[in-house]
Structures are given as C-alpha cells and as structure tokens.
C-alpha cells in the first residue's frame, strides 16, 4: 500500500506540473523551467523559475537583438518609454513558465509552438499603449507582412509610418493585434501581469494560470486534490510507525 502511494504521488504531481510549469517549444526557450540567478534587468523577476537563459535575457534588451533580429526602430527610433514595454513583453514571452494553458502547436519555420489569447491585465496594456501612442509604426500585425530582404524587418512598400495611436486606436488593439492575438485584453482580475509592481510576483501569474487551467478543463479539481490527499494518507500511514519506534 505504501509502495503504491510512493509510486502514484510523483505521477499525480507530474500531470499537474505539465500545464502549470512548462516552457513552450519556441525558438529560444529552455526545455524545462528552472532557476536562473543571472537574469538581466527587466527579465529579473523570473529568476526563481524561468524558461529563458541569462543569455536570452541580455539579448532581449538589445535593438535588432540576435533573438529574432527584430527592428523596433522601423519608423524612426522608438522612444525609451515605449521600448521598455516591448522589452518586458519579450521577457514575459521568453521567461514565463506559466503560459501552459495558452500554448498552441503551430509548426512554423521558426517555432513549433506559440501562445494564443493569454489574458493580459488591462492596466499593463493601457500603460503600454499610453507610453507608445506618440511613437510611429507602419503595421498593426508585427508577426506577418514585413520586408525581411535586408535580414531585419522593414516597412513593406505599400505601408506608411503613422502614430501608434492611429494604427492601434485602443489599448486593446495594441495588446491583441500586435502579435496576432498572442494576448487577449481583459478587465478581469484573473489576468497575467507583464510587470510586477505593488507586491505582484510571478507567483501571481502562476495562480492565474491555475485558475484558467481549471476553467479550461486542462486539469481537474480531483487532479489537484490528489497530491494533498496522498500526502495526508502518507502522513497517516507513517505516523503510527513513527510513534512505535
């Protein structure tokens, strides 16, 4: 009986951790999340458990970084206050181990999986939009349609540089459209944070991921209760023998 419990416990935990502690099979993410003590600047909040390496976290802060050679400055130099949001978005994408419920297979040339409809906190989207509305861009969807002939993305011929506020009339438009629906804008307090202010930590995102994993039926309550029930069972089994010895 005890042997059976000892075998089932790690299995039950493994099922749970699959969706709640996982790295997508993207371009730079690690195979499994784990501690990364040296994460750089804005990626630092994820240092206890990250899908990015320290190296990736450094590159996430560079213009036309080696990660995707993506050019933020395609319509003139992007302001610092706007760029910091794109850096944070990159850190979140590369480092968060809490995106499991929203990972989808895509089998694109540059990545096998993507995220779709991650519920991003309204406040983070609105600040991103406010800080970028006077910057310029020529496209609404930054995943597709660029001219990559020079090795970095340039505005396609038929496009024109316009203020962010024209290209993305609302904060929702920015968050949802810029990366072709990787994010979903939500008013709900069950939302994923890009930034960790006022006492928020990546642990908050872990709780949010758990909420949605349950709601989406990716894990069940009984699946969650199992490990605690098993632990309880174990302690009950072990305690008499301890008192006997």
Q: How many residues line the site for ligand NAG (CB under 6 A)?
A: 8
Residue with Cβ nearer ligand NAG (60 or 213):
60
Task: Check residue 106 for interaction with ligand NAG (CB under 6 A).
Answer: no
Q: Which of 28, 84, 139, 184 binds ligand NAG (CB under 6 A)?
A: 28
Binding map of ligand NAG across residues 38-77, x = CB under 6 A, - = no contact: -----------------x---x------xx----------
Q: Which of 44, 48, 112, 127 binds ligand NAG (CB under 6 A)?
A: 112
Nearest residue (beta carbon) to ligand NAG:
112
Residues 6+ apart with CB under 8 A from 129: 164, 168, 170, 171, 174, 175
Rounded least distance, CB 151 to ligand NAG, Å: 14
Helix axis angle for 2-20 and 202-215, nearest 10°, is: 100
> Under the rule (CB under 6 A), what is the footprint of ligand NAG?
25, 28, 31, 55, 59, 66-67, 112
């Amino acid at each position: 009986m005890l042997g059976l419990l000892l075998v089932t416990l790690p299995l039950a935990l493994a099922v749970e951790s699959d969706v709640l502690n996982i790295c997508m099979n993207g371009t730079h993410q690690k195979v499994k999340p784990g501690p990364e003590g040296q994460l750089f600047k804005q990626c630092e909040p994820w240092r206890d458990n990250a899908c990015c390496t320290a190296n990736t976290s450094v590159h996430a802060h560079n213009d036309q970084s080696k990660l995707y050679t993506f050019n933020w400055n395609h319509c003139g130099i992007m302001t610092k206050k706007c760029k910091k949001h794109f850096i944070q978005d990159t850190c979140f994408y590369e480092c968060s181990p809490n995106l499991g419920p929203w990972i989808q297979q895509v089998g694109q040339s540059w990545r096998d999986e993507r995220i779709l409809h991650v519920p991003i906190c309204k406040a983070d989207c609105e600040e991103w939009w406010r800080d970028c509305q006077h910057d310029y861009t020529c496209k609404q969807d930054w995943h597709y349609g660029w001219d990559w002939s020079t090795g970095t993305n340039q505005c396609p011929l038929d496009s024109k540089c316009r203020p962010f506020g024209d290209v993305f009339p609302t904060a929702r438009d920015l968050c949802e459209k810029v990366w072709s629906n990787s994010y979903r804008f939500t008013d709900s307090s069950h939302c994923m944070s890009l930034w960790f202010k006022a006492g928020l930590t990546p642990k908050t995102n872990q709780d949010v991921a758990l909420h949605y994993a349950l709601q989406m039926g990716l894990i069940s309550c009984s699946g969650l209760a199992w490990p605690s029930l098993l632990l309880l069972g174990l302690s009950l089994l072990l305690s008499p023998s301890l008192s006997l010895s």
